[in-house]
Amino acid sequence: SSASYALGNIAAGNIEKYLPDLLSLLESKEQFTYLLLRSVREVIMNFYGRGAEVGQYTSKIFAALVRHTNSKEDAVRGEVAECLGWIAKIEPDKTFKFLEGSLQSKDAFHRAVAVGALRFALGKETKRHVAAHLPKFLSMFTDRDLEVRRQAALTFDTVLQSTELMNMAENSDVMKKVVVPVLYRELKPNEAFIKIIDAGPVKIRDDKHQPLRRAAFDALATIAQICAYRLNMKDFYAYTMQGILDADEEIVVRTWDMYFQIVSNPGLSSSLKELAGGVSREEIEGKKLEMHKILLNFVKKKMQTLKGVKES
């Protein structure tokens, strides 16, 4: 990691001399793809805001990145998405045209990288482009692939926290009719993507739907914090309470965390009355979850916050 950071900064110091070698290594040293992509990212970030100096090289960098959009490694695709996002800030017209075109790709990894790149492309210089293309990116919430939908949830979360674009009439309508319903649907474990692997005395739960569920809970928590007025709180609690019954401890903790944030918000705390008649302790314990451990993790996580409350 340190070596890739150093290599990227060296290449940025003399881009004419070292960038061709860096891109050559990226093509020939497959085992170091992730680290070399981090070096490329350092080059791009060093020249962010100085587009004229790097402009003549962006085509070569762009071509090198595109060749790795369908990598089977999550980390590699993540780096490619981040690099494309930064390039979008330097050459927005070309990059956004590519990203939008990629949403129609038959390759799910290619689509996922395009959706993920958008959240790294957010900035003052790209605001107009993001606003123009956002509805098509939001439409990826209905994609058939789990990873594409997860990237859509992560990108939506970032856009909602970082911009006011969701207040636009068109985006607001998509949020109400598409985004929120899809997020609600993803909160429930999808058994089609869950397998129990019998490993002798141990049974391993292979839950491919878990990353998407986590992203969905996080996105809904952001909506509740920033624009709860867009939610029907009765429906919100009816769906999110499923998180308390989830087999994934992290999701259980995130659900409690979300409710903690609501309790801390004077404008929302009264809405907790909608929880009346919700999930009972018997139902929770009937799932055989180690609730004492889960709640202990939650309490530890919130200790610092509670110390700042005088009445606590």
Can you spell out the DSSP letters for 95-126? HHHHHHHHTT-S-HHHHHHHHHHHHHS-SGGG
Q: Is the pLDDT of residue 165 over 60?
A: yes
Percent of the chain at pLDDT exceeding 90 = 36
Pick 180 or 267 by higher pLDDT.
180
Average pLDDT over residues 57-81: 90
Report the pLDDT value the prediction gives residue 296, as an integer from 0 to 100.
56
Biggest CA pair distance of the chain: 68
Q: Is the pLDDT of residue 281 over 50?
A: no
> Which whole number is the average pLDDT over 280-308?
52
Q: Which of the pair, 166 or 311, is modelled with greater confidence?
A: 166
pLDDT at residue 99, rounded to an integer = 94
- What's the full length of the chain, in residues? 312
pLDDT(295) > 90: no
Q: 247-251 — which CB contacts under 8 Å span 24+ positions?
A: 247/189, 247/205, 247/207, 247/287, 247/289, 248/207, 248/210, 248/213, 248/214, 249/289, 249/293, 249/294, 249/297, 250/214, 251/210, 251/213, 251/214, 251/217
Yes or no: say if 185 and 217 are a contact pair by the CB < 8 Å rule: no
What is the arithmetic mean of pLDDT over 280-303?
Answer: 52
CA dist., res. 15 & res. 39, Å (int): 12
HSE, side-chain direction, 13 A CA sphere, residue 132: 10
- Mean pLDDT for 162-179 is 86
pLDDT higher than 70, residue 160? yes
Q: What is the value of pTM for the model shown?
A: 0.83
| Rounded Cα gap, residues 205 and 235, in angstroms | 29
Token pair in block for residue 85: 């996002």
Q: Above 50 in pLDDT, residue 280?
A: no
Lowest mean pLDDT among 25-39, 90-104, 253-267: 253-267
pLDDT at residue 133 tops 70: yes
Task: Report residue 256 CA to chain centroid gap.
Answer: 20
Structure tokens at 40: 């490329």
